[in-house]
């Protein structure tokens, strides 16, 4: 998360004369000030020279109120720099230059609302927290709420399944990750189809690599409704067990995923794929300016952090707004132990860029 140092402003007050102080000098000074004031008043009645008028005009201009400048941190309130028109020069960076959307593209005309998790765990996200019927009804209500709030971007519902899950144990191959059985992935795919939803398969590589994991998911990724998420938090390039430290992906890893998906689009004659990259630290994704865009793959940099609304906005400002790629995403936790209080939908829509991918965990 973002650590902020808040500057403190010190206000100096005026002190009264000490008890017993000689007031005669004070009276004399007061009389002198009065005389000077009368003399100045007489002088002020004389016509001003052109140079005096010019100086006066400059002085008036300097007093013109400036547009309020936003800030970061817990006291930023409604002037947070992640919001649109809060004084950030970064506003002008969005939208960045990008390829024109190809036929069949979901973004930017729609907003994706995705339920995230794994059915084998009630603690990894809302996708597995509730029984399937209950979970899908909750998705219906979330979709309806967003459609009502922003009808200009009709919702594309989605289920975002963690299909390769980072593990605390090394496993037989020492890769600290578990690939989900194809039957489980098919089950979630069926749930998505029942709601005309798309599906994301998410990859937490552990000590493995995208080059090893993505081909194993091709049987699903070749379907037009299935897209990809990659999670640098659990990419342990420097070794160690996932969860002990925050992992990382480089732009080269992201570019491999893009090339792989673009190849599937050509190979199977598919509409553009969506690639979601989770990020909530600077080193979570390195060399961001080197990320290459491809019209066959729509890229989402997804702010994956949790916490109070101001803290999440700080992360959004630092790791999404400050380093534009293509589209933006926002993580919303369903539990107050993570997001306390939760960020309102209205506040999410005030962000700039406005997130077009909302993941609910």
Beta strand ranges found along the chain (DSSP E): 111-117, 155-166, 177-179, 198-203, 226-230, 249-250, 273-279, 285-286, 297-303, 327-332, 357-360
Asked whether residue 68 carries a pLDDT value surpassing 70, the answer given is no
d(CA 130, CA 116): 12
Structure-model confidence comparison of residues 255 and 22, the more confident one: 255
Q: Tell me, what CATH number does 172's domain have?
A: 3.20.20
Asked whether residue 52 carries a pLDDT value surpassing 60, the answer given is no
pLDDT at 296: 98
Tens digit of each residue's pLDDT (9 = 90 or more) over 141-160? 999 999 999 999 999 999 99
In a domain, residue 41? The reply is no
pLDDT at 337: 86
In a domain, residue 64? The reply is no
b vs e for 38-70, b when ≥16 Cβ sit within 10 Å of the residue's Cβ? eeeeeeeeeeeeeeeeeeeeeeeeeeeeeeeeb
d(CA 208, CA 157): 30
Asked whether residue 130 carries a pLDDT value surpassing 80, the answer given is yes
Q: What is the pLDDT confidence band of residue 56, given thresholds at 50, 70 and 90?
A: very low
Structure-model confidence comparison of residues 13 and 309, the more confident one: 309
Q: What is the pLDDT confidence band of residue 255, given thresholds at 50, 70 and 90?
A: very high
d(CA 150, CA 196): 20
d(CA 356, CA 109): 9
d(CA 297, CA 302): 15
Domain that holds residue 350: 110-143+156-360
pTM of the complete model: 0.81
Q: What is the pLDDT confidence band of residue 114, given thresholds at 50, 70 and 90?
A: very high
- Average pLDDT of the chain is 85
Q: What is the pLDDT confidence band of residue 358, given thresholds at 50, 70 and 90?
A: very high
b vs e for 254-288, b when ≥16 Cβ sit within 10 Å of the residue's Cβ? bbbbbebbbebbeeeebebbbbbbbbbbeebbbeb
In a domain, residue 172? The reply is yes
For the segment 127-140, the average pLDDT, to the nearest whole number, is 97
In a domain, residue 346? The reply is yes
| Structure token digits, residue 77 | 């309130």
The total number of structural domains in the chain stands at 1
d(CA 315, CA 304): 9
**With contact defined as beta carbons under 8 Å apart, do 72 and 317 qualify?**
yes
In a domain, residue 135? The reply is yes
**With contact defined as beta carbons under 8 Å apart, do 228 and 203 qualify?**
yes
In a domain, residue 36? The reply is no
pLDDT at 336: 86
In a domain, residue 123? The reply is yes
In a domain, residue 120? The reply is yes
Q: Find, among 184, 305, 325, the residue nearest to 255 by Cα.
A: 325
Q: What is the pLDDT confidence band of residue 48, given thresholds at 50, 70 and 90?
A: very low
């Amino acid at each position: 998360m973002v650590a902020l140092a808040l500057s403190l402003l010190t206000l100096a007050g005026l002190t009264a004369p000490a008890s017993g102080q000689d007031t005669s000098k004070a009276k004399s000074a007061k009389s002198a000030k009065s005389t000077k004031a009368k003399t100045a008043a007489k002088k002020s009645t004389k016509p001003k020279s052109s140079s005096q008028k010019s100086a006066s005009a400059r002085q008036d201009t300097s007093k013109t109120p400036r547009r309020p400048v936003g800030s970061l941190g817990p006291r930023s309130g409604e002037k947070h720099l992640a919001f649109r028109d809060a004084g950030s020069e970064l506003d002008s960076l969005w939208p960045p230059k990008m390829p024109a959307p190809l036929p069949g593209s979901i973004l930017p005309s729609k907003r994706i609302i995705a339920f995230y998790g794994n059915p084998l765990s009630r603690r990894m996200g809302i996708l597995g927290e509730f029984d399937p019927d209950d979970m899908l009804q909750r998705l219906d209500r979330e979709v309806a709420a967003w459609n009502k709030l922003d009808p200009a971007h009709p919702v594309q519902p989605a289920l975002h399944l963690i299909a390769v899950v980072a593990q605390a144990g090394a496993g037989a191959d020492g890769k600290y990750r578990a690939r989900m059985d194809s039957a489980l992935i098919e089950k979630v795919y069926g749930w998505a189809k029942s709601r005309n939803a798309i599906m994301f398969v998410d990859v937490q590589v552990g000590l493995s690599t995208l080059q090893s994991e993505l081909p194993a998911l091709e049987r699903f990724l070749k379907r037009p409704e299935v897209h990809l998420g990659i999670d640098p938090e659990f990419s342990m390039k420097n070794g160690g067990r996932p969860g002990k430290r925050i992992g990382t992906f480089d732009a080269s890893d992201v570019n491999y995923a893009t090339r792989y998906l673009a190849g599937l689009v050509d190979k199977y004659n598919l509409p553009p794929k969506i690639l979601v990259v989770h990020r909530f630290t600077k080193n979570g994704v390195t060399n961001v300016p080197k990320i290459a865009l491809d019209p066959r793959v729509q890229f989402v940099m997804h702010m994956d952090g949790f916490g109070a609304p101001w803290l999440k906005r700080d992360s959004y400002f630092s790791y999404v707004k400050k380093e534009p790629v293509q589209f933006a995403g926002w993580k919303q936790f369903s539990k107050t132990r993570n997001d306390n209080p939760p960020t309102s939908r209205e506040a999410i829509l005030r962000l700039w860029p406005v997130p077009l991918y909302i993941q609910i965990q």
